[in-house]
Amino acid sequence: MNSQAQLLEEDRRSRERALELGSFIVEAPAGAGKTELLTQRYLRLLAVVAEPEEIVAITFTNKAAAEMRNRILVSLERAAAGEQPQAAHQRITYALAQQALAAGTERGWQLIAQPARLRILTIDALCASLARQLPFLSRFGVQPKIGDDPKRHYEEAARRTIALLDEAGAVGEVVAEALRHLDNDAQHLAKLLTSMLARRDQWLRHTVAHGTRERSAESARGLGLLVQRDLERAVACLDAGLQSRLMPAARFAAAHVDGETPLARLADWNAPLPAIPEALPQWRALCDLLLTGKGTLRKKFTVNEGLPPGKESAVHKQALLDCLAGLSQEQADAIARIRKLPDPRYSEEEGRTVAALAVLLKLAAAQLWTVFNEQGEADFVEVAQRALLALGDEDTPSDLALQLDYRIQHLLVDEFQDTSPTQVQLLQRLTAGWQEGDGRTLFAVGDPMQSIYRFRKADVGLFLRAADTGIGRIRLQRLRLCRNNRSGAALVDWVNHSFAGIFPAQDSVTSGAIQYRPFVATREQTGANAGVQVHAIVFDRETSAEDAGLHEAQRILEIIAHERAQDPAGKIAVLVRARNHLDALVALIRREQPELRFAAVEIEGLAARQTVQDLLALTRALLHRADRVNWLAILRAPWCGLKLADLHALAADDQMATLWQLIGDAERLQRLSADGRQRLAHLRGVLAEAFAQQGRARLRRWLEGVWLQLGGAACLQGPAEIADAQAYFDLLDELEAAGRFRLDRLEQDVAALYAAPDAQADGTLQFMTIHKAKGLEFDCVILPGLQRKGRSDEHELMLWEEVALEGLSEQLVAAPLRKRSFGNSGSNHGSAGNDSAPTPYDYLRLLEQERSANEAARVLYVAATRAIRSLHLVGVAKTNDDGEPVRPSGTFLGLLWDSVAGDFAAAAAGGNLAVAAERAADRQSRFVPKLVRVSAPAVAEILQQAAPPQPPDAALAQAGAAQAHGGETADPLAASVGTLVHAYLEMIARSGTAEWSQQRLDALQPAMALWLTQRGHSGAVAKQGAAQAAAIVQATLASAAGRWVLQPRPDSAAELAVARLAGERGRENVATHIVDRCFVEDGQRWIIDYKTTQLDDADAALPGHAERYRAQLERYARLFEEEGLPQRLAIFYAAHGRLVELADLPAMAEGGILNT
């Protein structure tokens, strides 16, 4: 490894050269300050260009573009203000900014006042701009918008492509051939086509010429070259000298086996095997001799390998063992790889299938273009493809390309390791007219060790290729930064030591392998917990994943608590490979530490939350009355809560009728309990009205209204569940407005919903995926779930590999997915009748798996390098029969095993195994699930009896009725707000004021607005009314009078309904009186009526206003005459928080106004 002094010197020289006017590609590791270098480069170029638009800087995200623009402008502003910094690198930036300002002043740019002249944009924005400038050549016409969900367009295009089966002629036969290849599984074919369309920029240009005999022959040659490369690696391990030593034993073994076995092919082995595909049979035979079935070097030889017991055989056995003893594991792997190499030829059936699938993919791409045109949308791939069309090709560039060739003098590309083939092709078109020495420059910066976006079609091999051969005609000088300005020395030393063994030994364009590049820490080490800490959790092999996950989550909480105690203001990040790796941790926090606030962006999916599941079931049931499962779900949902016994009595013996029909069967309902009948009666009434109104309103309003009438809002517990329900209804609105609502896709659409981040989190604790964390830094990083595996690559319809043949341009190796047939359940089999032989598809998939494995190491590197001060590694290992921890393959822990194996061995040996299992079992035994008493809902009970959706004029009718019956006002909103406030005051009187806070009222405002909307008020008016109602209730709770009126008492009632006969004798009617509040205090009966009126000059106006209701209160007083208690009558003005007593009744004491 290079010394630190050498690395620092290389870093210094690279930073100096990066400011020269040449073309460079710069490797900048994590924390190296590449954004600062890009800023310096941009400022340097501003000093030499005629116009600032001659410089174009390209990034991959809007955030990165904004950051670069901001840094440049801040640098210019500081230079203009003369604010010279102290740090050495900032002084360089300051000097360059001064030069740029001087040039701008001389040429009248005014960049600080006109920052739009700085051309810093994302590559997607650049492509859109190019396509927009030449709509005819790009074939876009009107610029489409970028769709939020392009997958649905891929799915539609795939469906239309398969529908071409009914077409006569060649088109229909192509689809038929593809279906035959997949055992007529149209659904599987549609899924494969959908996946391929997302990556069409990688294969579309190759499908044009594929299918001819010449192209098939070239593909076979390309495959042969790939096979030859692997054989050359094997020859490097088994050189001519070693092979000569193996020959006698191999010939002896071949002579002692059946002549039909592969090993017999070594009977005449007298010369070293060459690295050519034609020698594959002999190479495979040698593998059988030297390797076990699992691919490891043999430690003994038996008669099965042609080496029976005997003296002569013993000599050959020892010779073989001596030869193998000198081979490393890496050499053994290179030899074992030979078994995975296919014969470099295509069967007639494979060639025919490749040609058919190439045509099918072209048809699918054409269908996708049609879908895009119909919808007025496109994806980023399409925009990039149209940008290339707008530029023309190298031989016939368009006018736009020639114009840009004249205007663009300098290109800067950030995060170059994340480029795709199409994006590199775009750079080639933009620089096609550049000549060496013409003063134009290309500057690319990136870190190949941080290339982690293969799922976005990024190819780290492009970085390596550009560094070796340049981009188009531009040759790039390779520079390397070697400083890490982010992490402390202990962290950097650990990363250098650990990842040198994790990363491949050498770079490889084919396999996407990147050799590790060490760097030097420049940051002072601070803090008691600085460095890397391994938290080894060991269980026996019988321990369930749930137990292990629970213990791991508890350990993470302990780490968080410890880190916060050490540094309360420090930023902590919990980074995971996949969102679901946080499930156990989040569940534990919700259950045991709900006060722990954390920020989690797109982590908690809403699809698994009960509120959304209930709404989804309600939607599917109402829109499909025969959907029995979801009808059963809504009968069990909190708003109905039918008991299992009643559910069984209702539906168990009739599987043919729908649940809606059974609910309407009066005879069947008699089987249910009284409670069950009552619950179903309410639900039946609501749904009957809902079905009568179906189709008369937008889907969201209709469904939301049904949910409210059923009492769904009353079952919600807190603001989070209200937000979940709101997000679901917003999704329905969005889908319907866009014409994309489909019941069969609704579950997929809901799966894309995530809980909103906690607004109360202060940002010091964050949960996110590693990919989301790229580019960020935290004081403390916790990496849990090291034992978990990542997502495996799915099988594609076809696999492709570009191979450079000598004397020719890059050629394509294509292989179709193995044919599915009866008996193999979709598993693959080889060609030419040999089921065990690897096929070209197997080999290309092997290359993809190797790229994925190499990227996994880079993902782990990105995670580890986010830490400034401390890194915590949390993993779970299970033991073998000997009680030793086992290395979990295919995981981050497996990659790190050489560095952490000692920690796990110590944990197992130290008795932590038993302790861990005991603690997990103890937590589970003590766990008591949180129970929610639905009968005491968190929102007003009035929401459980919401009226059917009403037209806007219904509110006016309600207001008129309210006034006719003695209401306070004819204002529709005020009447509804009054009703709502009465309902909340009733709840408060029953539950006590202590449970009602300002925060709770704020959280309930959306529920209030929903109720008001159902009363016929518009959305804006309902929101206003909800705010008024919440303010009135809060004013009540804030006043001494309000709290006194609402406090619990032994003999009290709220909204008491009393029925009395009224009218002349013989013609009496039953009149019902509703008393808002009554109770006995100090031996006196208080009778109080609520008013929500707000009056100006309340002190003067309230007594007179209260007199208007004397007759009403005296009528209420007569209802309690038989008690014989003294009575006190009063009006409580909730908005003012004042109690006004009517004091001149004979039975009342001296009255007055009770103030707040």
361 near 369, Cβ under 8 Å? no
Which segments within 681-764 are labelled E, that is strand?
none
Q: Which residues of 531-565 are buried (b: 16+ CB within 10 A; e: fewer)?
A: bbebbbbbbeeebeeebbbbbbbbbbeebbeebbe
With 0-12 / 13-18 / 19 or more C-beta atoms within 10 angstroms meaning exposed / middle / buried, residue 808 is: exposed
Q: How far apart are CA 941 and CA 711, in angstroms?
A: 8
Percent of the chain with pLDDT over 70: 87
* pLDDT of 957 over the 70 cut: no
What's the Rg (C-alpha) of the chain? 38
* pLDDT of 561 over the 90 cut: yes
Q: How far apart are CA 844 and CA 1055, in angstroms?
A: 76
Instruction: Break the chain down into helix, strand, coil percent, rounded to 5.
Output: 55, 15, 30
Confidence band for 804, pLDDT divided at 50, 70 and 90: low
Please give the CATH topology (third level) of the domain spanning 4-137+380-481: Rossmann fold (3.40.50)
* pLDDT of 1062 over the 70 cut: no
Higher per-residue pLDDT: 456 or 704: 704
Residues 6+ positions from 1119 with CB-CB distance below 8 Å: 1058, 1060, 1073, 1075
Most confident of 157-166, 836-845, 943-952: 157-166
* pLDDT of 930 over the 50 cut: no
Whose CA is closest to 615, among 705, 526, 686?
705
Confidence band for 213, pLDDT divided at 50, 70 and 90: low
Residues 6+ positions from 752 with CB-CB distance below 8 Å: 149
Please give the CATH topology (third level) of the domain spanning 949-1154: Lambda Exonuclease; Chain A (3.90.320)
Q: Which two tokens stand for residue 466?
A: 């550009």
φ, ψ of residue 119 to 5 degrees: the values are -90, 85
Q: Which two tokens stand for residue 224?
A: 């042969």
Confidence band for 282, pLDDT divided at 50, 70 and 90: very high
pLDDT of residue 269: 93
Distances in whole angstroms, Cα of residue 655 to Cα of each of 173, 673, 923, 1068: 43, 21, 43, 52
Whose CA is closest to 219, among 759, 760, 714, 812?
812
3-state DSSP assignment of residue 121: strand
Residues 6+ positions from 988 with CB-CB distance below 8 Å: 996, 1033, 1036, 1037, 1046
- Please state the length of the chain: 1156
3-state DSSP assignment of residue 153: helix
306 near 316, Cβ under 8 Å? no
Strand partners, 767: 574, 600
Q: How far apart are CA 352 and CA 354, in angstroms?
A: 6
Helix (H) or strand (E) holding 1053: strand 1052-1062
- Per DSSP, the residues of 77-103 read HHHHHT---SSHHHHHHHHHHHHHHHH
Confidence band for 399, pLDDT divided at 50, 70 and 90: low
pLDDT of residue 293: 86
764 near 569, Cβ under 8 Å? yes
End-to-end Cα separation, the chain, in angstroms:
78
Position 347: which residue type? S
* pLDDT of 333 over the 70 cut: yes
* pLDDT of 209 over the 80 cut: no
Q: Which two tokens stand for residue 1130?
A: 């009063």
pLDDT of residue 136: 46
| pLDDT (average), residues 715-743 | 85
91-111 confidence digits (pLDDT tens)? 999 999 999 999 999 999 999
Residues 6+ positions from 155 with CB-CB distance below 8 Å: 190, 194
Q: How far apart are CA 59 and CA 56, in angstroms?
A: 10
Work out the number of other CB atoms within 10 angstroms of the CB of residue 133. 16
Lowest-pLDDT range of 20-34, 602-616, 953-967, 1013-1027: 953-967
pLDDT of residue 1088: 95
| pLDDT (average), residues 660-677 | 90
Q: List the chain domain ranges.
A: 4-137+380-481, 148-198+347-378, 228-340, 484-601+762-793+849-928, 606-751, 949-1154
φ, ψ of residue 392 to 5 degrees: the values are 75, -165
Distances in whole angstroms, Cα of residue 667 to Cα of each of 645, 649, 662: 17, 12, 10
pLDDT of residue 1146: 40
Confidence band for 577, pLDDT divided at 50, 70 and 90: very high
Q: How far apart are CA 890 and CA 945, in angstroms?
A: 56
pLDDT of residue 1019: 73
* pLDDT of 392 over the 90 cut: no
Confidence band for 964, pLDDT divided at 50, 70 and 90: very low
Mean pLDDT of the chain: 84
| pLDDT (average), residues 646-663 | 90
Does domain 606-751 match CATH 1.10.486.10? yes
Confidence band for 251, pLDDT divided at 50, 70 and 90: very high
| pLDDT (average), residues 599-612 | 86
462-489 confidence digits (pLDDT tens)? 999 999 999 988 999 999 999 999 999 9
Work out whether strand 1138-1142 and strand 778-783 pair parallel, antiparallel, or are unpaired.
Answer: unpaired
| pLDDT (average), residues 725-736 | 90
Lowest-pLDDT range of 51-55, 68-72, 711-715: 711-715
Higher per-residue pLDDT: 1054 or 132: 1054
Q: Which two tokens stand for residue 434?
A: 């550049």
pLDDT of residue 141: 58
Whose CA is closest to 351, among 223, 163, 172, 161?
223
3-state DSSP assignment of residue 597: coil
Check for a shared fold between 484-601+762-793+849-928 and 606-751: no
User: Rounded to 5 degrees, what angle do the CA atoms 1073, 1075, 1079 make?
Assistant: 140
pTM above 0.85, yes or no: no
User: Rounded to 5 degrees, what angle do the CA atoms 181, 182, 184 make?
Assistant: 105
643 near 675, Cβ under 8 Å? yes
985-1042 confidence digits (pLDDT tens)? 988 888 788 878 888 888 788 788 878 876 777 778 888 999 999 999 999 999 999 9
Most confident of 121-130, 442-451, 918-927: 442-451
Which segments within 408-489 are labelled E, that is strand?
410-413, 441-446, 477-480, 483-488
Does domain 484-601+762-793+849-928 match CATH 3.40.50.2020? no
Whose CA is closest to 889, among 792, 768, 774?
792
Position 717: which residue type? Q
Strand partners, 490: none
**What 3 state SS string does 912-938 have?**
HHHHHHHHHHHHHHHCCCCCCCCCCCC
8-17 confidence digits (pLDDT tens)? 999 999 999 9
875 near 894, Cβ under 8 Å? no
Q: How far apart are CA 59 and CA 46, in angstroms?
A: 18
Q: How far apart are CA 1088 and CA 164, in angstroms?
A: 76
Whose CA is closest to 872, among 559, 595, 618?
559
Confidence band for 1148, pLDDT divided at 50, 70 and 90: very low
Q: Which two tokens stand for residue 1083?
A: 């031996």
* pLDDT of 341 over the 70 cut: yes
pLDDT of residue 820: 59
Residues 6+ positions from 494 with CB-CB distance below 8 Å: 531, 532, 871, 899
φ, ψ of residue 806 to 5 degrees: the values are -60, 130
pLDDT of residue 526: 65
pLDDT of residue 931: 43
- Per DSSP, the residues of 1089-1151 read EEE----SSHHHHHHHHHHTTHHHHHHHHHTTGGG---EEEEEEETTTTEEEEE--STTS---
pLDDT of residue 1087: 94
Distances in whole angstroms, Cα of residue 988 to Cα of each of 285, 1037, 1052, 1075: 85, 9, 13, 16
Distances in whole angstroms, Cα of residue 249 to Cα of each of 244, 246, 255, 306: 10, 6, 10, 9
Long-range contact list for 94-102, CB < 8 A, 24+ apart? 96/19, 96/40, 96/43, 96/44, 96/47, 97/43, 99/43, 99/44, 99/46, 99/47, 100/43, 100/44, 100/46, 100/47, 100/76, 101/76, 102/47
Percent of the chain with pLDDT over 90: 42
With 0-12 / 13-18 / 19 or more C-beta atoms within 10 angstroms meaning exposed / middle / buried, residue 1083 is: exposed
401-432 confidence digits (pLDDT tens)? 556 655 889 999 999 999 888 889 889 888 88
Strand partners, 1069: 1062
pLDDT of residue 407: 80
